[in-house]
Structure 1
Amino acid sequence: MAESTEQNPSKLKRLKKTNFTVAEEDLIQQLVEKHSSVINGKLTNTVTNQLKKKVWDDIAIKVNSLGVAIRTATEVRNKWRNTTRVAKAVYTTHRSELFKTGGGPAPKQPSSAVESYPSYEGHHQLQGDSDQPSINATLPEEDASQDLYESAASLIRDSHPLQSTKTVRTPLKKVTVQDIHDMQYRALQGKLEIQEKQKVHMDLKRNNWNQQTDFRCRSRQNLNQLL
């Protein structure tokens, strides 16, 4: 006989929360920017995990004050991370379209929802940024903003493959007679240094051997005198 849902609460269907509204997203954005030094800062003696957790708890309380739904600090943090990743992915796709060569339709402009996030604006200003996250690299979240995902998916779906580029080989520098003379000079100089070191070593050994021989001779002379 099957267990009842009362005996096994884990079988109860999980209730889906209301999606984040624009007002909630805007408030999260404002609060994250306000506490950016703590949220994005590296762990130090002053910036600790406890402090980061407290900041997210405070943000969740203020988001809940809007009265849309009860959001936990983890849900608010995941919402921010997911939206930031999507904004970066949209920007990366849009930027690759701008640098394509040849014909084809003009790239679609990112939605206003994506452009409103600092992560997108920061990448848009820093053209040399190499951070290219995947569109699927998001945290588990059932209520992700639909317009952001649709914008990213649309840009990726409509993009054309980049034209293949041939590997450009750097031509080798032509070796001149002077280059050969320089190499021969360096090789000869190295050999001379080695020979000089060997000569010094042999002189030391010879001096040591002479000293030992002289000591033996004196020892024998002293012994003969005693006898």
Structure 2
Amino acid sequence: MVDRAEERDPRLNPPERLPDNVKAVWDEIVASNDVAGTVDRQALEAFCYLVARMRQAQERIEEEGMVVRDARGKVQPHPALEVERKLAEQIRAWGDRFAPLVKPTRKRGYMADATAAAVANAPHLQGEDGKKYAGLIAAARTQAWLIDEAQRDSMEALNEAVIKIMPQYIKACSELQITPASLSVGVAPETQKQDKGGGSGSNVSSLQERANRRRTG
């Protein structure tokens, strides 16, 4: 059975009344999914029973074979095959609700790494105070990753990313107070005055012009 770490969010621990094989399924799902704070415990419990019972049926089939003889000696399909089929149908009916998260690997990229470093070195984005910026941080890091991917693709893709993604990225960085133009010691990001000068648009235009010069140079 999968070990349950003591420090895990208590909401993710399975009910003690569950059999060990059902608890094992519960732990597998929790370990491969992001359900903290949002898990429907009753739904997850029902799903775990389905999976555990299907596995029991599969184990019986493995041990006893796909065919058995009835009381009259007649060969027939193992009854567990029908049980397995019905349970599999019920599990499929749940769709992707408790499916493991896909965690794609990403290549290291300058923009993404630089953004991560900037966030890590911003004191106001750390600890409890920084949690309220979690969504904006995620958005900025995603945009940085997309720009890196565009750079790997082609100059045309990078040029398009500079036009479409870079303004949003620069705005997010400004709101997070991780760009030099937005720095103001002792002032929280939400109280920063908006830049009334060239703003992110001028920065983006400059980057685009440089990219075009490199392309045609």
TM-score w.r.t. structure 2 length?
Answer: 0.22
Richer in helix (by share): 2
TM-score by length of 1: 0.21
Indicate the structure (1 or 2) with the bigger Cα radius of gyration. 1
